[in-house]
Structure 1
Amino acid sequence: MAKFSKSNAPQFSVDVYQNEFLPEGGREVNAIVTVTSTGGGAVAAPQFYAAGRGADTAVALMVDCSGSMDYPPTKMRNARDATAAAIDTLRDGVHFAVIGGTHVAKEVFPGGGRLAVADAQTRDQAKQALRKLSAGGGTAIGTWLRLADRLLSAADVSIRHGILLTDGRNEHESPEDLKAALDACAGRFTCDARGVGTDWEVKEVTGIASAMLGSADIVADPAGLAADFTRMMETAMGKEVADVALRLWTPLGAEIKFVKQVAPTVEELTDRRVEVGPRAGDYPTGSWGDESRDYHVCVQVPNAELGQEMLAGRVSLVVPGADGGVQNLAQGLVRAVWTDDMTASTSINPQVAHYTGQAELAQVIQQGLDARKAGDADGATAKLGRAVQLAAASGNADTAKLLSKVVDVVDAAEGTVRLKAKVAEADEMTLETRSTKTVRVKK
């Protein structure tokens, strides 16, 4: 596990948005916790990085080389070009490896169970090795992840990151084998996952990214891979603090209803809690650069009398410390105050209202698409209509645009829609893959 050093790290802050007032008998406290890290993570081309800046990072690139990557033949070429573009984005000093993935995982570069250290020479050698990549064989993504884990864990670095590209379904290992691999690798490195084309399974790719605290996306046209890989690698190069956890302490008698990330994407964290002492637990958030994320915390507190106040929760940001303990980076407080002022106790905090809607938006898109696939036209129309209504109300223009490719919008404000008779597979998959992307509250 990475140790945190303060010398060149970003500064973290925690802001809590909530309505702390509860009516008589009220017990549910909701808060949006905004975590911001600043002063680190500047992204530049490799030659502009300070010497040694990359020495604390290791990256494994996993490229699908299964037989389907030959259809069309340009797909494999685009994958090679994209991987080369990502390698060009590595800063000097970063440890890296390239893995070719089929029904087995093969080391493409540097080989011998090692990682290379990025400089002009190794970047060039890696790109030469990519030319030998050819398509053939099946798909067993769990084997790719396990090899990436073995290689990344050999490096004495804080930040370990994977980038995974697949174009097909994980047909050559059982779902149980993939889950076992994800369970074994989760928390050891973060991983972004991309599906290229339209022959892969959305829930598989988004499930990998979710388990590994990374991003998921579709690149429907393989020609877009190089730009996407460059952006992904630039983001990875901007990470400066690993193993950051959201630590939540609650008072005696309180019960945590849920903890979820709500921006930039919806990510359920409730079941990932690791107990760390009396009434405190850690929720993993992965690696951070210069960025801001929002979390929705819902706590059920014990009942209290009118006029009473209570600390409903303490939210801290912690990382492993050099002495084996933890270092506290920032904290915020969640409060509960019981009042008979109906206006105070019934008003919903704008942040809480907004993100409750964004979480529902992600859920109804998923339910609507599942209903559509199952042939339930009425169910699909109702759910996707609600999605259109929520997207319009919250100003989530990107999701509204994706929805309009799957339904004809009659009245967005009312959520009145008609299912399109014909929908391009890429459009449906894009909506499903990006359904959890949220927009932030307009300040």
Structure 2
Amino acid sequence: MANFSKPTGPQFSVDVYQNEFLPEGGRDVNAIVTVTAIGGGTTAGLPQPAAGGRSAAVVLMLDCSGSMDYPATKMRGARDAAAAAIDTLRDGTAFALVAGTHVANEVYPGGGRLAVADARTRAEARDALRGLSAGGGTAIGTWLRLADRLLSSADAAGAAIRHGILLTDGRNEHEAPADLRAALDACAGRFTCDARGVGTDWEVEEVKGIARALLGTADIVADPAGLTADFTTMMERAMDKEVADVALRLWTPVGVEIGFVKQVAPTVEDLTARRTEAGPRAGDYPTGSWGDESRDYHVSVRVPQAAVGQEMLAARVSLIVPDPAGGTPVTLSQGLVRAVWTDDMVMSTAINPQVAHYTGQAELADVIQQGLDARKSGDRDGATAKLGRAVQLAAASGNADTAKLLSKVVDVVDAATGTVRLKAKVAEADEMTLETRSTKTVRVKK
């Protein structure tokens, strides 16, 4: 039987979708940049882990505060889910378990170390999980800082991927909001983290804020029985990541202003404020870790006015990874955004389908949040208008998952016109699910 080895890393491509034509005096240029990583390439030309380094290092942070015993299924579900996640680890992955209360406690392997996944350490970790019990408060910043120390230890040296999984069931009540913000700022760019809320007593914005800052995913698991499947999926995705610290580098000519840079698929995330300067007229926007996947970004720039017949490079979009030795970053792929001035009104007024689609998806995320905020504040008319617009956008774009979530909050009279009625009673889990998943988008049909 022939031996086939899995390629050691994905190949990246950048595709730009735009209408480059502007009318005389036109200045705003919009483009959708699709970044795709496909297995079958090699990491030739990519920075390599240090000799003997781990391919990945993972820390699981489990809420063990007193509320996890109410009901007791939360604590049991968390233990079972963590055990399933540990079983999903690839051999050789460095890992640790952290019990989070008003302090952070490393429950396995202990001593500020990481274990190396194999049959023995997985069994030991499962034994440690069985000893976890609920008690104490919630200070998530302390959990993240401990995870950061572990993922920066010698046991994680050379790990291409550093990742955390965080589970909480309550509000971050035992530290100041500024302490959590400071912890997130300290951890940003050092590891990625998926965050989950179990039950319905946690703050959606806190959990989403953790995932947003650490370039991970956020979601709700309203029923603890769903934790095992969710943790298994999260760990499988973490194990599939192969290239870390990928950034979108945007270079613009003199006179070009950047409007915004947003990820628009698979979720809407505004990256504009996360720019770090990268030389003259260039800036980097973090995208986190990649496996085999594709994501879309909306880039909007404003160019100087020009006469009909002129054209210019409006922006160059490159995908880069840092050189561990501190040398020149490696460029994985790049695409160009152009501007061409024309007096053909048909050409200059056409809206690119990809740009139109994702503009609608970004508006969908915004109006859902605005509608839920209005509903919570008692503004029924405002909530009806915003959520009605959300129903209309979801229907028009084919976002069936969001449409289904909206139907649990409003009665849909006519989706095409956005005519809805607020439901008199809405389950808390349904409202939180809609809020947590409001930024999830559907891909445009290319």
Provide the TM-score with structure 1 as the length reference.
0.95
Give CA-to-partner distance per residue, 1:91-137, whole Å, 9 cap, x none: 00000000000000000100000000000100000000001100000
Alpha-carbon offset, residue 158 of structure 1 = 1.9
Q: In the alignment, which of 219, 222, 238 is matched to residue 221 of structure 2? A: 219
Number of the residue aligned with 1:355: 358
In structure 2, the partner of 1:112 is 111
Contact 2:54 2:160 in 1 (8 A): no
* Residues 54 and 91 in structure 1, CA contact (< 8 A), matched pair in contact too: no
Q: Match for 2:330 among 293, 318, 327?
A: 327
TM-aligned CA distance change 1:220 to 1:290, over 3 Å: same
SS in 1 for 2:278: strand
Cα distance in 1 for partners of 2:250, 2:33 equals 11
**Equivalent residues of 1:40, 1:238 under 8 A apart:** no
**Which secondary structure state, in structure 2, belongs to the residue aligned with residue 386 of structure 1?**
helix
The Cα offsets for residues 248-276 of structure 1, whole Å up to 9 and x where unpaired, read as 00010110000000000000000000001
Q: 1:267-286 residue pairs with structure 2 within 5 A?
A: 267-286=269-288
CA contact (8 A) 1:195 1:217 kept: yes
Q: Which ranges of 4 or more aligned residues in structure 1 deviate by more than 3 Å?
A: none
Residue aligned with 2:195, SS: strand
Counterpart secondary structure, 2:91? coil
Pick aligned residue for 2:423 from 420, 425, 433: 420
**AA at the equivalent of 1:337:** V
3-state SS, counterpart of residue 348 of structure 1: coil
Letter in 2 for 1:20: E
Q: Give the AA of the match of 2:138.
A: T
**Counterpart residue number, 2:136:** 137
Displacement of 1:55 after TM fit? 2.3
Total equivalences in the alignment: 427
CA deviation digits over 1:387-434, x for unaligned, max 9?
000000000000000000000000000000000000000000000000
Aligned partner letter, 2:373: D
User: Aligned with 1:8: secondary structure?
Assistant: coil
3-state secondary structure, aligned to 1:435: coil
Q: Does 1:402 align with 2:405?
A: yes
Please name the residue that 2:126 is paired with. Answer: 127
> Which residue is 1:234 aligned to?
236
Residues 51-62 of structure 1: matches in 2 within 5 Å? 55-62=54-61
Does residue 76 of structure 2 align to residue 73 of structure 1? no
What does residue 27 of structure 1 align with? Answer: 27
Identity of aligned residues (%): 83
Pairing 1:40-189 to 2, within 5 Å after superposition: 55-154=54-153, 155-156=156-157, 157-189=159-191
List runs of 5+ in structure 2 lacking aligned partners.
Answer: 1-6, 42-50
Residue 382 of structure 1: which of 382, 385, 401 is its match?
385
> What do the CA deviations read for 1:32-87 (whole angstroms, capped 9, x no partner)?
0000001169xxxxxxxxxx999220000000000000001111011000000000
Query: In 2, distance between residues paired with 1:280 and 1:79?
Result: 44
- 5+ residue gaps, structure 1: 1-6, 42-51
Q: Which amino acid aligns with 1:136?
A: G
Separation in 2 of the partners of 1:322 and 1:286? 16
Give 1:349 deviation, angstroms.
Answer: 0.1
Specify the alignment match of 2:3 in structure 1.
none
Aligned residue for 1:49?
Answer: none
CA RMSD after TM alignment: 1.3
1:434 to 429, 432, 437: 437
Letter in 2 for 1:97: A
Shift of 1:9: 1.7
The residue aligned with 1:300 is 302
Cα deviation per residue 1:322-360 (whole Å; 9 max; x = unaligned)? 542200000000000000000000000000000000000
Alignment-mate amino acid for residue 334 of structure 1: V
1:204 aligns with 2:206: yes
SS of 1:293 mapped into structure 2: strand
SS in 1 for 2:200: coil
Checking the alignment, whether the CA contact within 8 Å between 1:351 and 1:441 is kept in structure 2 is yes
Aligned-partner Cα distance in 1 for 2:207–2:16: 32
Return closer, same or farther for 1:237/1:166 CA change in 2, 3 Å cut-off: same
Q: Distance in 2 between matches of 1:219 and 1:8?
A: 34
